[in-house]
A and B are shown apart, each in its own frame.
Chain A
């Protein structure tokens, strides 16, 4: 009975779910090509944590207007995830709204790592390289899910906005110093 268990048990269960979802989405594994299997047990804690973390890292990296940076980053990521999901739905794709939000949130993990590295080392060339690598990683993570969700003739229409959002975030990471 989950109501009477110790808090640590609840937290541990949620954390292990986040970790397992992360492994499914972001790292290579044999279930990636089957979007039905991927992320059956989706949750929104993981995405929430990653979005807030990215906003915080960007805010810490900024030297001025820290709270504005956090606000813009958070709004961009949250609204971006919703708009991307709506885009797929409007193109006639078959996805489930919150599952898609969850997936897009998990795919932010590589960019989180990239942002953290960029905050710690302040070299422009390094930043560009790190951001390019993590951006490619994020796009690769999101690709199977998004591309199988729509009609093959509209695949590019569904994938381009995802790429655009990640490029925007990557640009923010590079530009904030």
Chain B
């Protein structure tokens, strides 16, 4: 029992739970250890505040540090898939890089795309080309049906589903087909990086943007020709680049490449039929 340590209550003025300081021994000297405070001059690039010292730019500075986790803690395990820092290397491109890759996708017979992106594939191009394509497809499709309805003096209502369906089509195509291709290539032991495949497919869709813009011309034969040419260019782009890649791994390439070629043509066909078949 610790009764020896207790002073009886009536002997003390108890204020709160802190016992009064013993007044028997004069004063109590409080000793602090030597402080280890070191001041660092502000370095150039330090997290969010890259402009040197100064008041924080925003009251919620602490919030931003945890949101990006740019220079401190590497989150371990499966958390990493959800942190921005994990995807930063795939967006490490400049404007000139992206423009160069886009121009490259317009010349399908060069076949040198895979080498160019092997070191540094980017996901910026595929994502924003897809998004632009969705917008262009939805708007041109709407405009075309609007024109044809107005020319025949019929009632026309905006079909909001056009946006959602084209979003599903394009995002789905660029996500699912590369994943399947990745698995197939792995099975045939000619592995290609998954991100490189996303990159290839994303840039291959670029040629559809000018094609869709040209499809506004209301002649059916023009539309079929434009869709055919664009589909052919896009499919050759994917097929040739894939063939170069698989050849360098020494495997039989024919079936896979032909399959991919036909698939891309099928996409062009679906695009043409879905968006431009005018049912008045």
Specify which of A62, A157, A164, A177 lies most central, judged by the most chain B CB atoms within 10 Å of its CB: A157
Bound Cα distance from A168 to B142, whole angstroms: 13
* Residue total for A at the interface (Cβ-Cβ under 8 A): 36
Task: Check if A96 sits within 8 Å of B57, measured CB to CB.
Answer: yes
A68 interface residue per 8 A CB criterion: yes
Find residues 53-81 in chain A having any chain B CB closer than 8 Å to their own CB. 62-65, 68-69, 72
Across the interface, do A92 and B92 meet the contact criterion of CB distance under 8 Å? yes
The answer to whether B158 touches A156, judged by C-beta atoms less than 8 angstroms apart, is: no
CB distance from A170 to the nearest CB of B (A): 10
Q: Roughly how many angstroms separate A28 CA and B33 CA in the complex, as a whole number?
A: 56
Other-chain residue from B50, B61, B139, B158 in contact with A176 (beta carbon distance below 8 A): B158
Residue of B nearest to A90 (CB): B91
CB pair A153–B164 under 8 Å, yes or no, is no
Whether B58 and A157, one on each chain, are in contact in the complex, defined by CB atoms closer than 8 angstroms, is no
Q: In the assembled complex, which residues on chain B have CB atoms less than 8 Å from the CB atom of A94?
A: 48, 50
Q: Which residue of A lies closest to B156 (CB)?
A: A177
Residues of B within 8 A of A (CB): 48, 50-51, 57-61, 63-64, 67-68, 84, 87-88, 90-96, 98, 124, 128, 131-132, 135, 139, 142, 146, 157-158, 160-161, 163-164
A and B contact pairs by CB, cutoff 8 A, 7 listed: A40-B57, A72-B163, A92-B88, A94-B48, A96-B60, A160-B128, A164-B135
Seen from chain A, the residues whose Cβ lies within 8 Å of a Cβ on chain B are: 36, 40, 42, 62-65, 68-69, 72, 86-87, 89-92, 94, 96-99, 151, 153-157, 160-161, 164, 167-168, 171, 175-177
| 9 closest cross-chain pairs (CB), A and B | A90-B91, A96-B64, A153-B94, A156-B95, A36-B57, A175-B158, A97-B67, A64-B157, A68-B160
